[in-house]
Amino acid sequence: MRVTEAIDARAFERCVTGGGVALFPSDTVYGLATDADSESGMRRIYELKRRPPMPSAVMFFALWPALEALPHLGPRTRTALERLLPGPVTVLLPIPTRLFPLAGGSENERLGVRVPALHGDLEPLSAVRVPVLQSSANLHGGADPRRLDDVPDELRAGVDLELDGGELPGIASTVVDLSDYEHDATYEVLREGALAGADLQRLLA
């Protein structure tokens, strides 16, 4: 395992595109990541977390690659994404085609999308150009880690790369379902998190 004190975007990209699993900082908590098309990497993540594979969010490190990867979205939904992202939000979107099947699952009609707000020490990660499957760096049922030292030792021992981004906010992303937003501008908050409800309402008004 390689540990980097500074954020090395190239090392991160090499790790995940090679099928590896990286431990990395986001704008909310520390997470585990692998290439969005790597079935072996996905299995390793959930083996490390001691839980069976489940639908996972796809993380992009800038907004424009996310919009390019989701050409089916209507104008109202695209505008909502441009208001919410980058930010501490996981957005659930309808996927009429089999985009990112490892993330959505065989019968899932929604896809979780994350674009973190990368400022300060985390800004170098915005150079990453590949989408990743990601999950919080904790054991099943464990607390979300805000520091690298908060990540369980067995997880740290099992990854191929660690990136140390210092202390993070430690509150997981807010999860909002925009599946029906294109039709009637309604949405549902599935998990309250780092983005306050009032701020979410203002951004989607």
27-74 pLDDT, tens digit each: 999 999 999 999 999 999 999 999 888 888 999 999 999 999 999 999
- Domain coordinates in residue numbering, the chain: 2-204
Cβ proximity of 33 and 22 under 8 Å: yes
Q: What one-letter code names the amino acid at 36?
A: A
* Composition of the chain by helix, strand, coil, percent to 5: 35, 20, 45
Predicted TM-score (pTM) of this structure: 0.93
pLDDT, position 106: 52
pLDDT digits (tens, 9 = 90+) for 5-35: 579 999 999 999 999 999 999 999 999 999 9
Model pLDDT, residue 65: 95
Copy the structure tokens of residue 69: 């990867």
Tell which phi-psi region holds residue 36, choosing left (phi > 0), alpha (psi between -120 and 50) or beta: alpha
SS3 205: coil
Structural element, H or E, at residue 103? helix 101-104
d(CA 3, CA 36): 22
pLDDT in tens, 179-196: 999 999 999 999 999 999
Phi/psi for 150 (5° steps) reads: -85, -10
Domain 2-204 has CATH 3.90.870.10: yes
Q: Distance of alpha carbon 175 from its chain centroid, rounded?
A: 11
Peptide bond into 94 cis (omega under 30): no
pLDDT by residue (tens digit) across 147-164?
999 999 999 999 999 999
Longest dimension (CA), the chain: 48
